Structure 1
């Protein structure tokens, strides 16, 4: 699998799912380059923007929209073993990825997007939803949350960890799909979570998008400097 060379330090990835009226503008403040996942290009064009890059098998992008995008920005990936979101994530490098159009609309697409976050857990990616943002928990993270912010933890693999700043600490708990999950916990203020292995998806209020994004970006930058 070949990486597509790019010089985008922060990328907004646009999918073809539900997108709110302010999603694109909010994402672009944090990640000003636009990469569309296949049919997400139609969303970008409808907003009066031109994607910097389109990646996918193009089965969701009609000929009219395709003709509006310069050919050198179109990157066809024909294999059918991954979703268009995964095709994007596995071919770009960035210090921050903000995904819109991946939560909401179709439940199977939402589940696939969360699965991609867990599979590609090394990537600094946060998904913007109508009410929450979703991201994979790294081995250690500190978030400047406010008291009573809802913090939900959903395991996509067996995993354990520790926490500070949660109303119900996770220390000593064994999480796993089909077993214990951690929905509807609450912050008592700033939260620190340490995970012993990959596989935990976190959801926090949408209002904390900027904080989550900056935290993930800082971790990615620190990793690059090592």
Structure 2
């Protein structure tokens, strides 16, 4: 499976199914807005589907470059149309299809669509994976927001008044610039202080002492967030043991 050698190479090396030096889109089978796929596809050249995410892709006229998952959401009518060298089944049932796909992609950034909205338990599982696979930079596109796991440091070009919500999935201490309510030296933790509905005064800088902080900000900040991740100045978290 390598429809374009310039986009993907060394498949299955180091347990990776897809490797790329450029951002990759990952499409799920959840809620996808009318312009979500277009907004995703214009920013990437390689598209991976997580199981049932192949359906909206194929309905839009685009064949996924790879399909990863347990395939319990793909009917035969769709499955039979996908070239076998683009199918990568992972049959275990201990993880979600988002988990299976994200951990199998080696790229500087993954842009995920079709994973937010709908059932709350599904969204919580996605956010859990986003934090747990801390070495996999990923931005999720939602109906109103973009969501990502904060790297060690990040600088974001935002519009004054933009909502910046910070939610910790584990204990995190950080510092900030450009927020109406700074987080300097505050302890953020899921059963304690959180940082929802903060606001940008100008460009925002965040520095955190460890992984676990999820940020939500307006959808129209997507390009600025992507640029920040691709700047080479954010640092990254090591893979969890």
Query: What is the TM-score of this pair, normalised by structure 1?
Result: 0.95
Does residue 142 (structure 1) correspond to residue 155 (structure 2)? The answer is yes
Q: 1:30 aligns with which of 37, 43, 53?
A: 43
Q: Does the aligned pair in 1 maintain the 2:147–2:217 contact within 8 Å?
A: yes
Q: 1:70 aligns with which of 77, 83, 101?
A: 83
> Residues 43, 108 of structure 1: CA spacing in aligned structure 2 closer, same or farther, 3 A cutoff?
same
C-alpha distance in 2, partners of 1:220/1:114? 24
Deviates more, 1:197-206 or 1:105-114: 105-114
Q: Does the aligned pair in 1 maintain the 2:111–2:138 contact within 8 Å?
A: yes
C-alpha distance in 1, partners of 2:96/2:132? 12
**3-state SS, counterpart of residue 166 of structure 2:** strand
Number of the residue aligned with 1:132: 145
Q: 1:168 aligns with which of 181, 188, 193?
A: 181
**3-state SS, counterpart of residue 228 of structure 2:** helix
Number of the residue aligned with 2:167: 154
C-alpha distance in 2, partners of 1:88/1:212? 22
- How far has the Cα of 1:202 moved from its partner? 0.2
RMSD: 1.6
Does residue 197 (structure 1) correspond to residue 210 (structure 2)? The answer is yes
Bigger helix share? 1
Number of the residue aligned with 1:9: 22
Number of the residue aligned with 1:110: 123
> Residues 198, 222 of structure 1: CA spacing in aligned structure 2 closer, same or farther, 3 A cutoff?
closer
> Residues 141, 7 of structure 1: CA spacing in aligned structure 2 closer, same or farther, 3 A cutoff?
closer
C-alpha distance in 2, partners of 1:219/1:137? 14
The count of corresponding residues between Structure 1 and Structure 2 is: 223
Number of the residue aligned with 2:134: 121
- How far has the Cα of 1:5 moved from its partner? 4.4
Could you list the per-position Cα deviations for residues 174-210 of structure 1 after superposition, in whole angstroms to 9, with x for gaps in the alignment? Answer: 1111211100000001000000110000001000001
Q: Does the aligned pair in 2 maintain the 1:95–1:217 contact within 8 Å?
A: yes
C-alpha distance in 2, partners of 1:41/1:149? 33
Residue segments in structure 2 that go unaligned for 5+ positions in a row: 1-13, 237-241
Q: Does the aligned pair in 1 maintain the 2:153–2:235 contact within 8 Å?
A: no
Residue segments in structure 1 that go unaligned for 5+ positions in a row: none
